[in-house]
Amino acid sequence: APAPKRRRFRWFRWLWRLTYLSAIAGTGYLAYGVYELRHPDDQVEPDPTKKNLVILGSGWGAVSLLKKLDTDLYNVTVISPRNYFLFTPLLPSCTTGTVEHRSIMEPIRSIIRHKKTAVKFYEAEATKIDPERKVVAINDNSDIKGEMNQTEVPYDMLVVSVGAENATFGIPGVREHSCFLKEIGDAQQIRKKIMDCVETATFKDQSPEEVDRLLHMVVVGGGPTGVEFAGELQDFFDQDIKKWVPEISDKFKVTLIEALPNVLPMFSKQLIDYTESTFKEEKITIKTKTMVKKVTDRTVEAEATGPDGKKTLEVLPYGLLVWATGNAVRPVVKDLMSQIPAQKDSRRGLAVNEYLVVQGTKDIWATGDCAVAGYAPTAQVASQEGAFLARLFNTMAKSEAIESQISTLSQSLNLQPGDAAAVSRDIETHEKQLRRIKDIKPFHYTHQGSLAYIGSERAVADVSWLNGNFATGGGLTYLFWRSAYLSMCFSTRNRVLVVLDWLKSKAFGRDVSRE
Residue 128 is a binding residue for ligand FAD (CB under 6 A): no
d(CA 493, CA 33) in angstroms, rounded, equals 8
Amino acid at 50: K
Closer of 53 and 460 to ligand NAI (Cβ) = 460
- Contact between 324 and ligand NAI by CB under 6 A: the answer reads yes
Q: Is 106 in the site for ligand FAD (CB under 6 A)?
A: no
461 binding ligand NAI? (CB under 6 A): no
Provide the pairing of β-strand 350-351 with 371-372: parallel
Strand-strand pairing, 290-295 and 299-305? antiparallel
Task: Tell me if 226 contacts ligand NAI by CB under 6 A.
Answer: yes
Asked whether position 94 contacts ligand NAI by CB under 6 A, the answer is no
Residue 224 has, within 13 A of its CA and on its CB side, a CA count of: 22
Q: Does residue 61 interact with ligand FAD by CB under 6 A?
A: yes
Assign 3-class secondary structure to 342-361: HHCCCCCCEEECCCCEECCC
Q: Does 95 bind ligand NAI (CB under 6 A)?
A: no
Contacts of 418 (CB under 8 A, 6+ apart): none
Q: Which residue number, 248 or 372, has a Cβ lying nearer to ligand FAD?
A: 372
- Choose the one of ligand NAI, ligand FAD, none that binds residue 220, judging by a C-beta under 5 to 8 angstroms depending on kind: ligand NAI
385 binds, among ligand NAI, ligand FAD, none (CB under 5 to 8 A by kind): none
Q: 58 touches which of ligand FAD, ligand NAI, none (CB within 5 to 8 A by kind)?
A: ligand FAD
Residue 99, judged by CB atoms within 10 A of its CB (0-12, 13-18, 19+), counts as buried
Nearer to ligand FAD, 84 or 252 (CB): 84
Size of residue set near ligand NAI by CB under 6 A: 27
**CB of residue 327 vs ligand NAI: minimum separation in angstroms?**
6
473 touches ligand NAI (CB under 6 A)? no
Q: Which residue is nearest to ligand NAI (CB)?
A: 223
Q: What residues have CB less than 8 Å from 229, skipping those under 6 apart?
A: 92, 95, 181, 190, 219, 322, 324
DSSP 95-163: TTTSS-GGGGEEEHHHHHHTSSB--EEEE-EEEEEETTTTEEEEE--SSS--S--EEEEE-SEEEE---
Pattern of binders to ligand FAD over 38-57, x per CB under 6 A? ------------------xx
* Site residues, ligand NAI (CB under 6 A): 171, 220-226, 228, 257-260, 265-266, 291-292, 324-327, 376-378, 450-452
